[in-house]
Amino acid sequence: MFDLFEPVITGSAFEWRKAVVALLLAFGLGQTIAGVYMVTFRGLSYARTVVHGMAMGSVITCMLMLAVGTNIAAGIGVAGGLSVVRFRTTMRDPRDIIFVFAALGVGMACGLQAYGTAIAGTLIFGGGAVLLHVTGYGARRQPDGLLRFVAPSGPGLEDAITRILRAHCRTFSLVTLREAAQGTVMEHAYQISVLAADRRTPLVTSLQALPGVHDVSLMLQEPTLDL
């Protein structure tokens, strides 16, 4: 019976030590990348499984690289086996894909015993991600939300609406003006940027106080969120 386990038992200590070090380092660096992802994540569609996938994916790729080594035939076999597996998880955020790919790259580097490359790559990648997050690189100012309401038509009321918007908003632009109720009222839609977050409620209250204005709604939007 022990003959079945002889290849495992008689494995050299160096080979075991090399595999354990590579796998543990891949797991640790994969967790580092996952931690940076959690710290710099912005959005509502956070998935714990994506973080787990980063940490464990690095171990899997490391194991495959250790198993393949320099054997071309084994590499072709592994590639053929992976092609059978169909990954149906859809990632709509390119940033998620980049982090998962980074974790897999760390696993590959550890599997090839390129430890210096793996550690340096993790540090530079993680530091770069944190730097881009802190500096807000690539961000552009967008409207805070969409303001909708229904108001009777008339120049006097239009002037009152404009004064209220100027008092509470940094910028505002009319995007939709449509007749309703057989032309007796108008549906307004504005893209606005408020002066401060605490001006949102007074803005809605001031518009509702105007005679004939009703159905006031402010839909906040954040371009970085994926609902």
**pLDDT tens string 140-199:** 566 678 899 988 877 778 888 889 999 988 888 888 888 876 767 889 899 888 888 888
Residue 58 carries which DSSP code? H
At 110, the amino acid letter reads: C
Buried b (16+ CB within 10 A) or exposed e, 21-55: ebbebbbbbbbbbbebbeebbeeeeeeeebbebbb
User: Are the C-beta atoms of 111 and 61 separated by less than 8 Å?
Assistant: yes
Structure confidence at residue 73 (pLDDT)? 62
CB atoms closer than 10 angstroms to residue 66: 19
**pLDDT tens string 98-107:** 888 788 788 8
Per domain, the residue ranges of the chain are 11-135, 145-220
Residue 145 carries which DSSP code? E
Output the six-digit token pair for 216: 């006031």
Angle at which helix 155-168 crosses helix 200-208, to 10 degrees, equals 170
Region 211-215 average pLDDT: 87
Is the domain 145-220 a CATH 3.30.70.260 member?
yes
Structure pTM? 0.53
Phi-psi region of 136 (alpha: psi -120 to 50; beta: other; left: phi over 0): left
